[in-house]
Structure 1
């Protein structure tokens, strides 16, 4: 089982994720939220919410937000925000313990794409979206984003014989907008609109002092020898030159559809 399918993995990574990934993914969450009009009367569901980039941002509209994730560690981070209009529950996004049509808007920002049965995750999102409501899903392009994207680029340059990065099945399946749209329709949504959104991940070169923390969530890093890891770090430093921050342009696809 890949590490990203294990809740224990995310429990252990929750604090680091909140400090590094959350500030980056919140940019995509903010973009996703501009595509759906929310009011204090809206009921919002965030599936595979992580540390709450979407849920906590949606709460600013006054909407009533339920954030779900299979990782108790992630859910605890959201609960710690102590917002009166945000509830966080441990729940499997492939089998939501929620009533049909009970939410006005259902989001998953880089969450459902990690599920073993991601199609079931999409259909569950559609099931709990009310008629006329919206489903919003964000996925990465097929080579990932941020440090995963950078590591993949460097691996292909330095070790072409090693092959490409292993991405979740959904990332590969949804990388083409037309395929993405078809899957949303198959899940139970209609009128899907897919757009590309690019933001820079700001890699602090100082973080290279702890490379196992920086790249450690990737099996493609763990599989490298010490000498190969050193070569990767040297390449990153060379790319950065005299800059303290290396921007990594990262493109997501955001799909918005009606129920």
Structure 2
């Protein structure tokens, strides 16, 4: 079972989520890769940001920071995030992951789809195709989205797979049927789906789909997920879970996290 860091390392005391420092910390902790949120800038560059604006990450509150889709890259680059970090491009993250031979799940935002998501998906498809031509076999990428139309538009664009993310309140079996019908290869379940009905993993696998689950931070629960046949686990604590997998001590974990 592969383990990836959600937004890099969102629980890190210094580095914000979806930054190069957060991604690097996760990879150095020994997990297999990262999940990152992708949006397009005003001038069409793919960058990492979960929210539509940078206010929450800056600490000023949601809705108070620069809006990613309405701001050119150069202006976003001038914004200093906590910990001496900045907004990275997806290209920078993919290059870093390639050095580590690591896996990257790219989640297209916004979750609800719409024009901004369609634009981001088109840019992502073009970027991945260009990288595939220039650097064959360098990237290990799964494209993902909560929105079925967005996810389906990227089917076949990822170098590893294409996935539909299933919201906590959605029916995972129905979502699996729809994902399969639209040419997707993976279904990313919320952990509550599996806690409520562990057999759902087997049912989705039986449809010929791979199963990812998130968010899981507890090593014992991670082992249970592996026993159910889960292929990919997403965690908010890649440092702790990565070191637990490697049999490291808590003192080692403190050294990496610090």
Relative to the length of structure 2, the TM-score reads 0.29
Relative to the length of structure 1, the TM-score reads 0.29
